[in-house]
Structure 1
């Protein structure tokens, strides 16, 4: 495809994203490219990169366009990104819209007038650095929705700007070697033989890291179940669950089974793990992944309204993992659309749901067993506050400090966080933002 053709496709993808504001962007993009199979792999990555570049900077681009009373249409967002983020002159931006087959239509009179006004506004300002303008409100300057700033400031303090900047960057691609079929070293060699050079992750003994997104799912190492895509922070949560061979384990919010796979490998296919979820399609996806990975000690349970499964199994499990539904603020590097499609109402609804799930999970754990509560959020309301409330309702539980849980899981070196809980973040650890609390039920 020509550069103009890629730009036209990126604008179409941005329009598709705007048309479905509550649907995850990666699902929309998958459908977009699936219906355009004529687009090759290199063009697909270029189109996605341009669209995600706009999505990552959407708050700032919207602010800039508002200064010249411009509606943020996909075409003007793309043009503004070329002008402000890539530093093109107005004439070069106009040439990027040449018209004709497979190219974006030329900017019309109004669009060109707005583009020139935007360039003039930038030229008149002092202290402009890329997309950051000194007149921006704090939330736009940090590229963070206003509703997360109190929680992020409580979490990061003086490091807030550093962490906010890290959340804007594309994430590396982390893989987990499936120890049911291979070793980390052998998995790395298999990937290298297919042209993908990796390096070991810092904390997880299972992890391999690629510096950027690559077509891993097309490799033999992936299709044969030697590796799975999983962020290092997520791997650490599975490791800290300490699911040993022979135990009875529940992954209560299993989704598509990412942590179920890791737990099953940790158990060496011995014992029993139950993957639970409220979504049948997600559990079906987990079944396919479990089969590919060679897992045969897992079963699944689909929660339905009025379900009595948990009540009938109270006190029967050695380990219960709650990978709770959350705002996903720790994954904004991978899911940049979430920062503009998630709001304070979602946070209020999710914190109620998290408390309910924790109470259910607490009843499943046998005396002496462990409950691990995890989120991919960095907001205290979803993390420490939930644990404090749970302990107030369940005095038979106590926090197992991170350092003790780290040592008990056989992990080497010091854990990546101080204090009683696991907290990882993009700037400090190079992982997604995760929280985990390990709770012990008294015997």
Structure 2
């Protein structure tokens, strides 16, 4: 086998098996740092041995066995870790790990550890991308525009905090899983949002982060197929990402939903997202339950992506869905987005009154001023106020494509 196919096989194994290998090692040895290092050693060994020996028929099993041996070797070399050193001497390579349920539980356990509430949100994001996504420290640092040394310290501190807090390598209790799952989903959606509309840097859209968040969403759905919010989040990300190719013009300017070329949307992602939304609608109807935040956001985006043009959008249905969302998540941002939909049903004057009531809560949020500027432009006779609102939005926006769009809209005012 030539080198290129082997490298492709290793890259594919890295995408498919990294999280499984790291999670299994973390559960077996109770040490995130050791798990990460041993997994990396195994992939290095694959690059060295697979060109000579051939790609094994079961790459994941080969990597797990090799990584386990690497971990044991590391423990034996580190004599200052006496307790673990003694434990390692009792381990033989052919002793199976203790039974803990399906192998997928290892990855699920690792997700909950990476997103533990004891960690700050930036630390949760970094650790999730490193241990579940397999991204290098340099890649994560680049994604979030911090020096590599800063990101390395952030990840190291996060692992040390988990060890110091004595966080067990198991799933949270059933009483805690709801709250903990909400935090996990928030981390994944934050990763997606940073890719979908980057808050800083020269790239308006970070496709790598969008793809990674969707991959994590698929993993979560595979591990938790009965959790409605997991399915809702995956559907939401798919429906948003389907519009990626139409969101930035060739000149580097943001293209709003109303102005997008819908023929450029990814129909396969839309079909998959719609199927997931229909699945959740049927499930909610069957048990008369209440859909959560991500399910409602996915339903709203299903309405948008179902319309052949912006003017054909069922805005009344969008407002109805936002009314339900407000009961679940009454945050100012949700109310702002609801007001934008209200403008299409009841007119910009009604919507502007609702938006103005959010000024105290959202004065530092660029999207608030952008929405208000658009409404002021539409009501007529308030060009000076609209210009001031656009100025404020441009000053607050960190995304270059968004700034370009807002500046053009401002300069078009009479």
TM-score, length of structure 1 as denominator length? 0.29
**Structure with more strand by fraction:** 1
- If asked which structure has higher relative contact order (CA below 8 Å, sep 6+), I would say 1
